[in-house]
Amino acid sequence: MKENLALLIALTCLVFSSLSLLSITALYGLFLSACRKLFGVARTEKTAPPTLPTVSVLVPAYNEESGIVQKIGDLLKLEYPPQLLEIVVADDGSSDRTATLARELAASAPNRNLKVVSSAHGGPAAALKQATLLTSSDYVVWTDADATVGLDSVRRGLEYFSDNGVGAIFGRTRSGTSGFGPSNRRRELNARNVIRGLESDLGSTYYTNGNFFMFRGKDKAIVDGTAINYDSQMAVNIALQGTRVVFAPDIEIVHPDPEGFLVYLRRRRRILVGVLQSSRSSCGLLLRKNRKLIETVIVMRSFLLYPVLPLVAWAGLISAIAAIILVAGSVFALAALGVGLALIVLALELESWRVTDIPFWIVREGIALLSMVVAYLDYAKVISGQYTYVGGRDQA
């Protein structure tokens, strides 16, 4: 009896933990694919605007002197009429020469609409809000200082807004090649991009990025200057206005990989705290009238289940191991372990990981779990008003 009970616990926990821990993204993607076939696609009509509108491109920058000149130089090369394009460096109280270098560039190009808006150091969201409210353009683009934007990105982005139901779009991030775990980072980004595309096809997506985030200028008043994940929070605010947030796969942005494992963990921790922060406002999306069931699933997965599932999965895996120990040496225990390992390999395959990546994955996710626990503690500070994200990049 004891052996059968332990076997049941072991199998259940191994199945659940293997599938939820390693293939949350893969299974969710399969679910979205099935819904896409059943319910069709929320098509986004793309046509070039008959008259080109004015566009403001904003770059939040904190101590970016090593790359701000290159960033501005790339933006000045954008394939868009200079008289319709405004470039704004939202300087977040940098203590280095970021603002000085940007102003020198502006002085050297008097025929270009290049500005620097400086504010006290309060985080990228606060700097972006101040700079965004000062713009008067028809459309606004946010792009990170360390992201490389395609020259035709603005023109491509405007095509999506020919659909009046689209309130914001964001581009597809491609991994750099010099940082921590570049090959695994590419797989992670590819999986996210597939999910973002499927969610867009079914309605709206909220797991956005700040590498290239574009929205209508009339919505600048709803920018949240206190948000940790300012782009995702803006996506929620725009969706609450009744329009969609759409993934634009044809706008490719190159973003460098985290420079080391500690930076990776810090970024992951910060993103999770931001998700927890945005989960409160996302509840408004669940209360909207006439919402579709799939929209409810997307919101819940993006904000409510995302921070919880990894913890539950690890608990299930640990419980499974404990159950197997109770009946160590029995055929049933070995069979349960074999089923669990097979599911892990299947999950890795679904997410395009190689079996040889398992040791790396275990170490990364184990330490990331500790970072996640710290993120929950950080969120407690967010609720009490004692936490403010004022960093630039997620440096170790």
More confident residue, 297 or 71: 71
HSE, side-chain direction, 13 A CA sphere, residue 154 = 27
**Cα–chain center distance at 98:** 26
- Asked if the model's pLDDT at residue 70 lies above 90, the reply is yes
How many other C-beta atoms can be found within 10 angstroms of the C-beta atom of residue 283?
13
- Asked if the model's pLDDT at residue 325 lies above 50, the reply is yes
Structure tokens at 273: 């705290």
The whole-number average pLDDT for the span 138-148 is: 95
Domain ranges of the chain: 55-260
User: Which residues is 213 bridged to in the sheet?
Assistant: 142, 170
Task: Give residue 180's pLDDT.
Answer: 47
Instruction: List C-alpha distances in Å: 111 to 18, 86, 89, 153, 342.
Output: 59, 11, 17, 22, 63
Structure tokens at 103: 């102003």
Residue 34 neighbours by CB under 8 Å, 6+ apart: none
HSE, side-chain direction, 13 A CA sphere, residue 88 = 25
- 194 neighbors 352 (Cβ within 8 angstroms): no
Question: How long, in residues, is the chain?
Answer: 396
Lowest mean pLDDT among 206-210, 288-292, 328-332: 328-332
How many other C-beta atoms can be found within 10 angstroms of the C-beta atom of residue 9?
19
- 52 neighbors 45 (Cβ within 8 angstroms): no
- 132 neighbors 58 (Cβ within 8 angstroms): yes
pLDDT tens column, 84-110: 999 999 999 999 999 999 999 999 887
For the question of whether the overall pTM of this predicted structure is more than 0.75, the answer is yes
**Helices marked H in 23-152 — which ranges?**
24-39, 68-76, 98-108, 124-133
**Positive or negative: CA dihedral 288, 289, 291, 297:** positive
Task: Give residue 179's pLDDT.
Answer: 47
The whole-number average pLDDT for the span 76-80 is: 95
Which CATH number fits the domain 55-260, given the four candidates 3.30.420.250, 3.90.550.10, 3.40.50.300, 3.40.50.80?
3.90.550.10
Residue 121 neighbours by CB under 8 Å, 6+ apart: 62, 92, 93, 94, 95, 390
More confident residue, 253 or 327: 253
Q: 125, 179, 134, 86: which is closest to 392 by C-alpha?
A: 125
- Asked if the model's pLDDT at residue 396 lies above 50, the reply is no
Classify residue 365 by burial, with Cβ atoms within 10 Å: 0-12, 13-18, 19+: middle
- Asked if the model's pLDDT at residue 379 lies above 70, the reply is no
Instruction: List C-alpha distances in Å: 74 to 126, 148, 201, 241, 248.
Output: 24, 8, 31, 33, 20
- Asked if the model's pLDDT at residue 41 lies above 90, the reply is no
Orientation angle between helical segments 331-350 and 309-326, nearest 10 degrees: 160
Question: What value does the mean pLDDT of the chain take?
Answer: 80
